[in-house]
Amino acid sequence: MPEEEHVSQVEIFGERYTLRAAEDPAYIRRVAQYVDTKLYEVAKGAPAMPAVRMAVLTSLNIADELFKVGEARERETAAALAKIAELSQSLDHVISARA
C-alpha cells in the first residue's frame, strides 16, 4: 500500500513552493529551512551572484556536508568493528584459558 502523501508549503530564498512528500510536513519544513539558510549564507558571501549559480554552489556545499558525514560514519563503523573484533578475540582467549 503506498504511503500517504502530504502537501507542504515552504519558502526558500523568497520563493514559495508547494511540495508533496510521504514525509511529515514538519520534517519537510525543517529541510526547506536548512536549504534556505544555506542559500542565504552563500548570498551573504556573494550578493551579486546569479540565482542559478548561487543554487549550484549551495547544492555543492550541502553535498560536501553529506559526503563528509558519510565518510565520518564509515570511519566510526570501521573503528567500532575493529574494537568488536579485538574484544571478541580477548574473550576467546579468556574462554580458552578457562577450558
Report pTM: 0.80
On the question of pLDDT at 99 being above 80, the answer is no
DSSP code at position 20: E
Cell numbers 502523501 correspond to 5
pLDDT tens digits along 61-95: 999 999 999 999 999 999 999 999 999 999 999 99
pLDDT band for position 98 (cuts 50, 70, 90): confident
Grid coordinates representing 74?
Answer: 564509515
Grid coordinates representing 23?
Answer: 514525509
